[in-house]
C-alpha cells in the first residue's frame, strides 16, 4: 500500500527533522510549503505572505506528481494547524489510492523554530490547532 504521511505541528516542533529521518536518507520525498520560499542554491529561507497561496499550490502539485509516479511513501512537513490545509491532500490520496497517516509532532526536545516566529504568534497558532477525534 502506498502511503502519504502528513507531519503536522507548530514551528520548531521537529517536523522537518523527523521527516528527514523517516525518509531514509532521501529515499522518499519530503515536501513542504517552506520549499517554495527556500532558495534551492543557497538554502536561504525568505517568507512572503503575499505568495503563501502559491506555496500551498506548489506543494499540492508536487505531491500530485509524486503520486502519479506511484512513489511508495510521500512525507508532507507543514504546520497544518487548520483542517482545511490538509483536505486537498486527503483528496489527492483518495484519487491515487494512498493510505493517509497524520502524525502530530510536539517540541519535547527544546528546539527553536528556524523561522523566528515569536512566542506570541506561536501561542495564537496553538489556539487554532485542532486534533480530530473519531
pLDDT per position as a tens digit, 116-134: 777 788 778 777 777 776 6
pLDDT tens digits for range 9-46: 888 888 988 999 999 988 999 999 999 999 999 989 89
Please determine, for residue 91, whether its predicted confidence score (pLDDT) is greater than 90: yes
Q: Which of 97, 35, 25, 100 is nearest to 61 (CA)?
A: 35
Please determine, for residue 69, whether its predicted confidence score (pLDDT) is greater than 90: yes
Global pTM value: 0.86
Give the domains, in start order, of the chain with CATH numbers.
2-128 (3.40.50.300)
Amino acid at each position: 500500500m502506498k502511503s502519504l504521511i502528513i507531519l503536522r505541528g507548530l514551528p520548531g516542533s521537529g517536523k522537518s527533522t523527523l521527516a528527514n529521518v523517516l525518509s531514509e536518507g532521501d529515499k522518499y520525498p519530503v515536501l513542504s510549503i517552506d520549499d517554495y520560499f527556500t532558495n534551492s542554491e543557497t538554502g536561504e529561507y525568505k517568507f512572503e505572505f503575499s505568495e503563501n497561496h502559491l506555496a500551498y499550490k506548489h506543494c499540492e502539485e508536487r505531491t500530485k506528481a509524486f503520486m502519479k509516479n506511484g512513489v511508495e511513501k510521500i512525507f508532507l512537513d507543514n504546520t497544518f494547524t487548520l483542517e482545511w490545509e490538509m483536505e486537498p491532500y486527503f483528496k489527492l490520496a483518495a484519487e491515487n489510492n494512498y493510505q493517509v497517516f497524520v502524525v502530530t509532532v510536539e517540541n519535547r526536545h527544546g528546539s527553536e523554530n528556524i523561522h523566528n516566529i515569536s512566542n506570541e504568534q506561536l501561542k495564537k497558532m496553538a489556539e487554532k490547532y485542532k486534533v480530530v477525534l473519531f
